[in-house]
Amino acid sequence: MRIQAPLALSVGDPSGIGPEIAIMAWERRIPSAVPPFYLLADPALVHARARRAGLSVFITETSPKEAGPIFEHSLPVVPLAGQFADTPGMPDPSNAQGIIEAIDRAVEDSLSGRAAAVVTCPIAKKTLYDAGFGFPGHTEYLAHLAERRSGRSMFPVMMLAGPDLRTIPVTIHMALAEVPKRLSTELIVRTGRIAATDLHIRFGIDRPRLAVAGLNPHAGEGGSMGTEDEQIVAPAIELLRREGIDALGPLPADTMFHPRARAGYDAALCMYHDQALIPAKTLAFDAAVNVTLGLPFIRTSPDHGTAFPIAGKGLALPDSLIAALKLARSLADKSSEKERA
């Protein structure tokens, strides 16, 4: 029987809920509800957070190689080089080095085959910025690590994946006024290519169907409500179709997300952040997963933030993290099947 590599879980910002939702996910491991993972963290902090949050956990310090067999009886923790300040609810820039180390090691373990995939607990960007972190966020840093390792350029794509809907924002963290300036036919095409490729290889969909939202109300209403849909979005869809990608649109976003519409596509390509995230979170707030496409390793994350106000109080829910762990395992298994085929 082939032994599966466990998932690598980076602790995220230790002042947030990352440590406790990791513990809670491990508590729900039986019967086979959560795939085996190991936590990259400071073991002393994990112990301290369990006490603060009133959680019961057995912890074993280990290596990625030994983590799988340990998981059933004890939470495997792969120690970091430094220690964390245990300040729930109060982000501390002194923790930045350990936060980044956990991400670095999770990615390296995945690329080296010691881990099947990377799962990341939430980080707080300001904490990292205050310590000199030079990347906009998690996704860009993950792409940097992959580029450094492979020597080739990466184009990471963000997907929100829930039980009933997958959405992909073409533009992400920018002011709404900037979206028409930054949106381009090339950007839509590049995003659609990566989405179609990863839906095929990692999600196991033979011929992925992409529904492409218009930017303006009613997809521009023939140009009467803006020309971007005719001049930018429609040409991108035509180019995707010429490449053999099943792309439909531009579609009015207000009629794309009801059940009958969702039955007609595998993922929705949306033009801006909220156009993608509002329907995804409305349908599956506790079960949606952030997936990064376009990288040489699998990365998922819970679709929520650090939740500083409730950190250390035992109030956090691990549902989205568990969904992220399950999806990471599923994507890793499907990718392996494709490689063996």
CATH code of the domain in which 237 resides: 3.40.718.10
Number of domains in the chain: 2
Residue 201 and residue 273 share a domain? yes
End-to-end CA distance of the chain: 18
Residue 187 and residue 146 share a domain? no
For 265, the token pair is 């596509």
Residue 205 structural domain: 157-286
Q: Which of 264, 286, 308 is the last residue of a domain?
A: 286
Residue 1 and residue 131 share a domain? yes
Place 220 in a pLDDT band, splitting at 50, 70 and 90. confident
Residue 304 and residue 188 share a domain? no
Distances (CA, A) of 29 to 23, 34, 36, 75, 339: 10, 5, 8, 10, 28
pLDDT tens digits for range 178-197: 999 999 999 999 999 999 99
Rounded CA separation 12/103 (Å): 8
- DSSP letter at 226 equals B
Residue 72 and residue 30 share a domain? yes
Residue 307 and residue 248 share a domain? no
Residue 144 and residue 21 share a domain? yes
pLDDT tens digits for range 263-281: 999 999 999 999 999 999 9
Q: Which of 267, 286, 305 is the last residue of a domain?
A: 286
Q: How many CB atoms lie within 10 A of CB 166?
A: 25
- Helix-strand-coil percent breakdown of the chain, rounded to 5? 45, 15, 40
Q: Is the pLDDT of residue 337 over 80?
A: no
Residue 120 and residue 20 share a domain? yes
Q: Is the pLDDT of residue 2 over 70?
A: no
Q: Which of 206, 208, 202, 209 is nearest to 337 (CA)?
A: 202
pLDDT tens digits for range 128-177: 888 888 888 888 899 999 999 888 999 999 999 999 999 999 998 889 99
Q: Which of 242, 258, 286 is the last residue of a domain?
A: 286
Rounded CA separation 18/9 (Å): 10
Residue 233 and residue 260 share a domain? yes
Residue 263 and residue 311 share a domain? no
Residue 59 and residue 95 share a domain? yes
Residue 105 and residue 237 share a domain? no
Rounded CA separation 275/290 (Å): 15
